[in-house]
A and B are shown apart, each in its own frame.
Chain A
Amino acid sequence: MSDVQTFLDRLAERTETRRQAHGPEPTWIAARRQAGAARFEALGFPTRRVEEWKYTDVRPIAGGDFALAETADFSPAAAAALTLPLDAHRLTFVDGVFSAELSQLDGLPAGVALLPLSQALDENHEAVGGPLGRLTGVEFSPFAALNTAFMEEGALLRLAPRTVVDKPIILQFLSRAGETPVMSHPRILVEAGSRSQATVIEHHLGEADAANFTNLVEEIILDRGANLTHYKLQEAPLGDLHVASIHVEQGRDSRYTSFNLNLGGGLVRNDLVTDLNGEGAEANFNGLFFGQGRQHVDNHTLANHNAPHTYSNETYKGILDDRARGVFNGKVIVKRDSQKIEAYQSNANLLLSDRAEIDTKPELEIYADDVKCSHGATTGQLDEEAVFALRTRGLDEQTARGLLTLAFAGEVMEQVALDAVAERVELAVAGKLPERFNLAGLVETAVALHEDEE
């Protein structure tokens, strides 16, 4: 049986069970499902002969047989220990299944709709059918097609115009260790009305021994002047396989700021695409990937400057130890007539072991003539002189190395405004440090000193 057939059989089973339980689906959903399945069947899983997948071998996914989870059982105490300690609105999914028990949806401010996709479809499937799949169609990739064939759960966030959400919104995906590996195909849809503002934290985490497959599709539509900060904190167990296609559409003067912080997962592939469609739109792509053991992290980003006076700024930092492997492919496309745009891109990598590997490829395609663009990529090792210098001041070797490694990521980390998120990264990258790095306490100390001076 072919790899593709295994997945199609699972789909047929699922469709039948769903029909028996809930009756027929709305026609548009059934039609998309079929289109997704057909596309997936025609394409098959990507091989390394395909340029876009040259450095990433998806056979661990293609060769797997993943069931679909039926329940969202997860010990609340265990979940509480894993979750980010933040006062937040929270949607939780366990192996893709929505958990009302582990979610916190009380007290949503006016103008905010935050609900599981299944509920949104039950309530008004037609309102979802318009935007869903508009940005990420089945043509995008075999994984997007597969997601469309299987889609049933996920998150929907709608912000009415001018709504400002103060608390962060956490979308939490828990992966369970079980007897058989499972897969999930979550779908996230964000529609931010004009001049609305929110911070979304997409958090992937789970039980250490889990080995599941998550295939996520995320569509984010930012209306005029909307401002969305999107953290993707990847802390999935090391056995987890994760593919995500994130598509952003930006209207005039909108701002999208992404923090793609990758610490966990065995095999991770992210495709992050933004369409800068209105003048004044701005996209900030901040990335940090930290790989150990045999982790494989592949980030493909694309900024489409479809309108004049648009702005993109990308900084990705890669840190790879042991036999970990990283891929960075950042592409900027400036359309004809997209004059006066600015696009900056940099990727710097730190290899902590001789056997770690990075493949980096910044790409620029410019079809306009009055633009400001730059890109660059560097790869290096820790400065041994600096390690020695820190040790001569009494810091042990592990701390010295951790500190310098963290310092390497400094440019990205300085932008991280949420301490709870920064702490996770610090701990993963540097271990326990003698002092909070670059964070409030020390900064306050120095500020206080300044004030004292004056």
Chain B
Amino acid sequence: MLEVKDLHVTVEGQEILKGLSLTIKAGEVHAIMGPNGAGKSTLSAVIAGKDGYEVTQGTITFEGQDVLEMEVEERARAGLLLGFQYPVEIPGVKNIYLLKAALNAQREARGEGEIPAPEFMKLIKSRIAEMKMDASFLQRAVNEGFSGGEKKRNEILQMLVLQPRLAMLDEIDSGLDIDAMRVVADGVNSLRAEDRGILLVTHYQRLLDYIVPDKVHVLVDGRIVKSGDAELAKELESRGYDWVLEESAA
């Protein structure tokens, strides 16, 4: 589904990713862990198409398409969706507007017509209930005045409505208390499906108690230095990152 090969990325002249390779198959949940400054957020930002990241080498393909050749919105319409670590406040644009416009943009790209109003209402209603959000959130401007936890829930709400092919969640656990973490994790778990990939970027193992990944990768200094299963995350939690660094240096 997603194939990243030998990816080198520089930001303001500094090389952040130094030959990263990663393959995610449909149905899999991958977690990328690593110390601060390893380049974790850079990877998802580059896949989503954020400005200011220069790919100097390597390729990203998503279901056979060259992702680096696609516009930001084309990536989204193809089903690559990024959940932000720091969701942006968009004053004046109502949540419900964004959800409907985004859903219809995606449908249009697939050659489908606009979603009929009753169907949309039904969909939204069940999704906000899943995220334990009040309907009043729909009328509020996107993320404006939301608490940290509400913003993260809102990101997952968008995922539940848009049903991406590959969901990338950048530090979705940061700033969440335990209750909010559970709601967010339940939301992510409900996204798990045979035909969908999920990429979690996280600093802490804590999230992975709730969302058990199929694969865990350790990202250090711009490269994946070790991969394993969910057990690897537990090992990192108890032993820290140093042993991985030593092992990879050896």
Contacts and interface: CB of A to CB of B under 8 A. Distances in A.
A448 B108 CA distance: 25
Contact of B135 (A407, A441, A453): A453
A385 B94 CA distance: 17
Interface string B94-106: 1011101110111
A395 B105 contact: yes
B135 A449 contact: yes
A441 B101 CA distance: 13
A49 interface: no
B221 to A, nearest CB: 27
Contacts of B93: 390, 403-404, 407
Interface in B80-101: 81-82, 84, 87-94, 96-98, 100-101
A410 B117 contact: no
B99 to A, nearest CB: 9
Nearest to A441: B117
Interface residues of A, number: 37
Interface in A383-401: 383-386, 388-397, 399-400
Given A435-B97, A442-B100, A448-B121, A394 B105 contact: yes
Contact of B73 (A383, A384, A395): A395
Contact of B88 (A386, A397, A450, A453): A386
B91 A393 contact: no
A216 B91 CA distance: 37
Nearest to A409: B92
Contact of B90 (A399, A407, A437, A449): A407
B106 to A, nearest CB: 5
A139 B203 CA distance: 72
B138 interface: yes
Instruction: Pick the most buried of B49, B90, B139: most chain A CB atoms within 10 A of its CB.
Output: B90
Contacts of A20: none
Interface in A256-312: none
A392 B90 contact: no
Given A407-B90, A445-B96, A446-B138, A389 B84 contact: yes
Given A394-B109, A445-B121, A388 B51 contact: yes
10 contacts: A388-B88, A391-B73, A392-B49, A393-B102, A393-B158, A395-B102, A397-B71, A407-B93, A448-B121, A453-B125
